[in-house]
Chain A
Amino acid sequence: MARLDSIGQFEQLVLTAILTRREDAYGVTIHSKVEELASPKPVSLGAVYVTLDRLEDKGLVKSWLSDPTPERGGRAKRCYRLEALGERALEESAVTAKRIWDGIVEVWGKEWVRAQSKEWGKRLGKEAG
């Protein structure tokens, strides 16, 4: 089995964006999903391109050019999908995140979780509204 490099937080966001966009994962859609995931921090399109290149070099994602579309001035999209190694890396990140979450809950308690959930709910409501 290929060696799995550790991945950073931004790489996790990009991999998650590719996973959730499925067949429609390309520059613009990946960027908008990453921005949504990283909210309220702004994310530049350039940072997403750099990370996509790095993930491709690591063998975590694969890219190909799609057919040109008129809304893009007749230009093709570069679509991305997760490779098996990318899925494994994301899985490991999710497991680690869960452990972090459990550790925090253990110390700060269920009250903190409830307060955070309310806070996130308010923030999401504001963004949607």
Chain B
Amino acid sequence: MSARPSKAIQAIAAIFIPCACREEVLGDFEERCTSSLQYCRDAIVTVPLVILSRIRRTANPQLLLMHAFVLYLSFYGAAWFKSPELLYESWGRVRLAIPGAVTLLALVLEDAYAKPGYRSPLRLVRGPLLGFAWTILSQAAFRASHSSLTLPLWIVLYGGALGLLLTSALRMLFSPPSTSPQGPI
């Protein structure tokens, strides 16, 4: 055993493995490594399960539901103020759910990849900020490929800002599980 995998492959694998279990998973890969190809196969098969397991440990379904609710409310409120006709368009209300879903995904991944036990006010805002950035990027991507799924820019900005405020407040009130001792440290 133990042929050394290339540094580049190890670095790529390290990017995808959540911080909380990176050390031991990379160590196990290295110990099992017989060739670079086998290392890649191990990483491709194992890392998705490691990520899912970490998400299961760090995501709180009730808190996620609350986040989903306030995010949808933010974009719905912004649409109601800025262009209420969107609410009556076909698929209008579904389009309003897309930015919320993208932000939610960013929050889930941020919690899964956070350092366990590391607690700072910045960490609580980082997820919502990342979600806001992803929302803008996803809208830009949709504009290029599926323009029927995009929202007017003002709704994205107002809804995103309101969602940022509300989700940050929720995260301050109900600390995400990854900041609690849950999970191996």
Q: Which residues of A contact B (CB under 8 A)?
A: 26-28, 31, 44-47, 49-50, 53-54, 56-57, 63-65, 68-69, 71-73, 75-78
Report yes or no: B28 in contact with A27, Cβ–Cβ below 8 A: yes
For A63, the closest partner residue in chain B by CB is B184
Check A73 against B53 for contact (C-beta < 8 Å). Answer: no
Number of residues of chain B lying within 8 A (CB) of chain A = 28
**Is the pair B49, A47 in contact by a Cβ cutoff of 8 Å?**
yes
A26→B184 CA distance, assembly (Å): 13
* Interface contact B57-A73, CB-CB below 8 Å: no
Which residue in chain B gives the minimum CB-CB distance to A47? B49
Q: Tell me if B50 is interfacial: C-beta within 8 Å of chain A.
A: yes
CB-CB < 8 A to A45: which residues of B? 28, 32, 42, 45-46
For the residues of B in contact with A, the DSSP-based class is helix
Answer whether A50 and B2 are a contact pair too, CB < 8 Å, given A65-B24, A72-B31, A77-B27: no
**A28-B31, A45-B46, A75-B30 are known contacts. Are A57 and B23 too (CB-CB below 8 A)?**
no
Docked-complex contact B23 and A49, CB < 8 angstroms: no
CB neighbours (8 Å) of A63 from chain B are 184
Residue of B whose beta carbon sits closest to that of A50 = B53
- Taking a contact as CB atoms under 8 Å apart, the answer to whether B56 and A26 are in contact is no
22 A-B contacts (beta carbon < 8 Å): A27-B24, A44-B45, A44-B49, A45-B46, A46-B45, A46-B50, A49-B21, A49-B25, A49-B46, A53-B53, A53-B54, A53-B57, A53-B183, A54-B56, A69-B27, A72-B28, A72-B31, A73-B4, A75-B27, A75-B30, A77-B24, A78-B184
- Shortest distance from the beta carbon of B50 to any chain A beta carbon, whole Å: 6
Cα–Cα distance between A28 and B32 once the two chains are bound (Å): 7
CA A25 to CA B78, docked complex, whole Å: 54
Instruction: Return the chain A residue nearest B49 by Cβ.
Output: A46
When distances are taken between beta carbons in the complex, the residues of chain A under 8 Å from B52 are 50
**Residue of A with least CB distance to B57:** A53
Q: Is the pair A65, B2 in contact by a Cβ cutoff of 8 Å? A: no
Nearest opposing residue in chain A for B185, CB measure: A65
Top 7 nearest A-B pairs (CB, nearest first) are: A46-B49, A75-B27, A72-B27, A78-B24, A27-B28, A46-B46, A50-B53
Can you add 19 more A-B contacts, CB < 8 Å, to A50-B52, A69-B27?
A27-B27, A28-B32, A45-B32, A45-B46, A46-B46, A46-B47, A46-B50, A50-B49, A53-B54, A54-B53, A65-B24, A65-B184, A71-B2, A72-B30, A73-B10, A77-B27, A77-B28, A78-B23, A78-B184
B1 to chain A, nearest CB (A): 8
Q: List residues of chain B with CB within 8 A of the CB of A54.
A: 53, 56
